[in-house]
Chain A
Amino acid sequence: MVIYLKAGSKLRERLKPDIDYYTRRIETEEGKTIKEILADIGINPALVAFVYTSGKVKGLHYIPSDGQSITLQPPVAGG
């Protein structure tokens, strides 16, 4: 299946967007968690505080579905 990961600030460089400035198309297997998908593409999950999709916050154990767009939120850098 395909999901679309978005990232800005500190994570954007790691994500290597290919669709637009913030977005990368990811082919992955159904049933995988965001944490597992991040590990697959070489991003340390510890650098993602939570994900945001369809207006809701989700943890890294969230399992996305085909075609879903998901934003990676880095931890706040100390205010």
Chain B
Amino acid sequence: MNNGLAGTTLRVNLTTGEIKRFPTDEKLFRRWHGGRGVIAKLLYDEVPRNADPFGPENIFIVNVGIMSGCYIPSGSKTEFGSISPLTNGHGDSNMGGHLGPMLKFAGYDMLIFTGISPKPVFLYIDNDTVELRDAAKYWGIGSLDCEEQLKKDLGEDFEIATIGPAGENGVLFSCITHDFGRQAGRTGQGTVMGSKKLKAIAVRGNRSILVHDLEALKKQVAEIIQRTKKHPNMEPWQKYGTSFFIRWSNDNAVLPAYNFKTTYYEDVGKIDGDQLIEHCLITHKACFGCWMNCGKYTKAVVEGRPVVHLEGPEYETAATCGSNLGMKDINHVAYINWMMDNLGMDSMSGGGVTAFAMECFEKGFITKEDLEGYTLKWGSLDDVEHFLDMVVHKRGIGEWFAGGSKRAAEKIGKGSEKFAMQVKGQEMSGYDGRWAPGMLLSYMTADIGAHHNRSWTITVDMAEGRESVEGRAKIVVYLQHIRPLFDTWCICRLFWGELDISPEEIVESLNHITGWGITVDEALRTSEMIWNLTRCHYLERNRDIGRVFDYPPARSWEEKIPSGPGKGKGVTKEQVEKMLDEYYEARGWDENGNPTREVLVDLELDFAADNLEKIGFLGKPIPGGVPPIRGEKYKPKAF
């Protein structure tokens, strides 16, 4: 195979322990581009619509895509997928590090786990040796601790992915951890691993990956290396990573503070990147094939607690577990980051859930009695530590919050759903969209719930006017096509977003690797196909018109920003409705948010149209037909 694929797919039946090898389906990868695309198709085809995400019929997929592990900038990603227990729809999440490349070097493009193991196990891969091994000694220990122990037991040269107690205990926002701080955090992929009693994956390999035109690839990548080394933004990225953007978010009224009550955090200077570098930084850290080393390996020093080591906090965690919890010390934020990493919780959802609980406590909806005698006050590390312990062990009301803020609000009632800051069950990332309407629309319509990586529009909102919503939908659609392509190819977005590597250059690399000879437009069309399939899958599982799933919590339109540079700003309900109308029109869906046959057939998803029609949720035909091209490439106006 001279196409970037390693050649073998493993199917692991955890119920029986049987492991089967198959030649990787090249046609499947060609059509769906690997990563998120192949995962979307396999979940759609193989998981019954009524399957419990915790049950044996859910499948758990590890997919390395085409470009990961190849001689390509930041070809480091590994994509995980299953039906999400958090959203009850297609779920996928990815991490950087070295796991994916090592899987390829061992000879594997994809691992598909089915069933449920009768006892805790981990998958051991050493080139051709593939075994399910007993994980009894690792069960119950933290993600970071487990990785360290497995490296001691197996060898430092194994790359390892683990879950923590949160995943073992069924906390719905559990993550997968690798490389002592890289997480596939979103959609509860760690929860599914835990439900299958799969504690870890450990892999070592030393084979080559064959590509279509190595000389052309080497020449192209050598030029990219030279160019990006001279890029003016490279050095700041290398030295500071993402944490330095907290202050910018605060200055521009998008930083969530106190459970998204406001977008202004008066103590931002205590948790900003300069504090991280001054007090916590140990060294810089890079993923496979990357010379940007944006990762920051750090320590958290908190009086009365052991010094702990972690990667981060990156921007998202500094926001969701810093300003959003009212924390006033970067070491406390880093300590919470470490706790969530070792417990195996997604720090974005974990921060969102904790902030929601803090506001419930502030309003008297939960009490000290509910919290085993503790309070849950803004800025209290002690309170957060105790609360997370209740959640991870599902003690008392901890069980409510282990289901995420949406489910917890259903238990608490009293109107708390208005400030449970989530969409489709998944908590918002570290940006408030009330005065960045495109960002709010991005959260509302993301196929996996409120996650920023599908579409991020804040500078677009600034350029186009933060008070208006017109025209934002087409840009969100375009971004929802181009950004997930990176999760499909299993490479990092930052070289594109931050260092000017163009989509055309990336597709050229893809062609050197695969020999496919495709264009950017064809890749975007594939991404649109994936997007529509995940939408159909969501509607088939959740059985209602699409529009009902696409609303943010009422705080998003009922409460204006109360303080700071954005004081008094915010969208109205009418603007939210208008954005949805324009979004569905831009996608060629009907006003209910249901995909139409015309657009599904255009994307060669006839089978999905048939399935939607059978259950009564196929979109009504649109007078005048659907747009020939969905989405609009964003060309910024003069700012």
A binds B: yes
Residues of A within 8 A of B (CB): 6-10, 12-14, 22, 42-44, 46-47, 49-50, 52, 55, 57, 59, 71-79
Q: Tell me if B233 and A10 are in contact (CB < 8 A).
A: no
Within 296-349 of B, Cβ neighbours of A (below 8 Å) are at: 314-316
Question: Which chain B residue has the least Cβ–Cβ distance from A6?
Answer: B232
Q: Tell me if A10 and B236 are in contact (CB < 8 A).
A: no
Q: Tell me if A9 and B498 are in contact (CB < 8 A).
A: yes
Residues on A with C-beta less than 8 A from B500 are 8-9, 12
Give A27 to B281 CA distance when docked, in angstroms. 38
Residues on A with C-beta less than 8 A from B240 are 57
A59 to chain B, nearest CB (A): 8
Q: Mark B489-504, 1 if CB is under 8 A from A, else 0.
A: 0000110011110000
Identify which of B244, B274, B493 contacts A49 (C-beta below 8 A): B244
Name 10 interchain pairs, CB-CB below 8 A, sorted by A: A9-B498, A9-B500, A42-B638, A50-B236, A52-B235, A72-B232, A75-B458, A76-B245, A76-B497, A79-B242
Q: Tell me if A47 and B233 are in contact (CB < 8 A).
A: no
Question: Which chain B residue has the least Cβ–Cβ distance from A72?
Answer: B232
Q: Tell me if A9 and B233 are in contact (CB < 8 A).
A: yes
For the complex with contacts A50-B247, A78-B455, A79-B453, 5 further pairs of A-B residues with Cβ separation under 8 Å are A9-B499, A9-B500, A10-B636, A22-B230, A57-B244
Known contacts A55-B239, A76-B245, A77-B459; is A22 also within 8 Å of B639 by CB?
no
B269 to chain A, nearest CB (A): 11
**Interface residues of B, CB < 8 Å — how many?**
41
Question: Which chain B residue has the least Cβ–Cβ distance from A52?
Answer: B236
Known contacts A47-B639, A50-B248; is A22 also within 8 Å of B462 by CB?
no
Give A40 to B462 CA distance when docked, in angstroms. 18
Q: Tell me if A8 and B232 are in contact (CB < 8 A).
A: yes
Residues on A with C-beta less than 8 A from B231 are 8, 22
Known contacts A71-B232, A75-B458, A79-B315; is A50 also within 8 Å of B244 by CB?
yes
Identify which of B236, B429, B639 contacts A44 (C-beta below 8 A): B639
Give A46 to B456 CA distance when docked, in angstroms. 16
B555 within 8 A of A: no
B452 within 8 A of A: yes
Q: Mark B426-464, 1 if CB is under 8 A from A, else 0.
A: 000101000000000000000000001101101100110
Residues on A with C-beta less than 8 A from B242 are 76, 79
Residues on A with C-beta less than 8 A from B251 are 46
B252 within 8 A of A: yes
Known contacts A47-B639, A57-B236; is A10 also within 8 Å of B459 by CB?
yes
B273 within 8 A of A: yes
Give A13 to B316 CA distance when docked, in angstroms. 28
Give A11 to B247 CA distance when docked, in angstroms. 19
Q: Tell me if A75 and B245 are in contact (CB < 8 A).
A: yes
Q: Tell me if A76 and B315 are in contact (CB < 8 A).
A: yes
Q: Mark B100-138, 1 if CB is under 8 A from A, else 0.
A: 000000000000000000000000000000000000000
Question: Which chain A residue has the least Cβ–Cβ distance from B458?
Answer: A75
Give A52 to B232 CA distance when docked, in angstroms. 9
CB-based closest 9 A-B pairs: A78-B456, A49-B248, A44-B639, A6-B232, A77-B497, A71-B232, A52-B236, A78-B452, A8-B233
Give A78 to B240 CA distance when docked, in angstroms. 16
Residues on A with C-beta less than 8 A from B232 are 6-8, 22, 52, 71-72
Within 224-241 of B, Cβ neighbours of A (below 8 Å) are at: 230-233, 235-236, 239-240
Residues on A with C-beta less than 8 A from B316 are 79
Give A77 to B315 CA distance when docked, in angstroms. 11
Question: Which chain A residue has the least Cβ–Cβ distance from B249?
Answer: A75
Residues on A with C-beta less than 8 A from B233 are 8-9, 71, 73-74
Residues on A with C-beta less than 8 A from B248 are 49-50, 75
A7 to chain B, nearest CB (A): 7
Q: Tell me if A73 and B236 are in contact (CB < 8 A).
A: yes
Residues on B with C-beta less than 8 A from A44 are 462-463, 639
For A52, A59, A72, the residue with the greatest tally of chain B CB atoms inside 10 Å of its CB is: A52
Q: Tell me if B453 and A76 are in contact (CB < 8 A).
A: no
Give A77 to B249 CA distance when docked, in angstroms. 12
Known contacts A22-B231, A71-B232; is A9 also within 8 Å of B462 by CB?
no
Residues on A with C-beta less than 8 A from B230 are 22
Q: Tell me if B245 and A46 are in contact (CB < 8 A).
A: no
Give A7 to B231 CA distance when docked, in angstroms. 8
Give A78 to B442 CA distance when docked, in angstroms. 12
Give A51 to B498 CA distance when docked, in angstroms. 15
Give A57 to B247 CA distance when docked, in angstroms. 12
Known contacts A8-B231, A9-B499, A47-B639; is A79 also within 8 Å of B252 by CB?
no
Q: Tell me if B459 and A74 are in contact (CB < 8 A).
A: yes
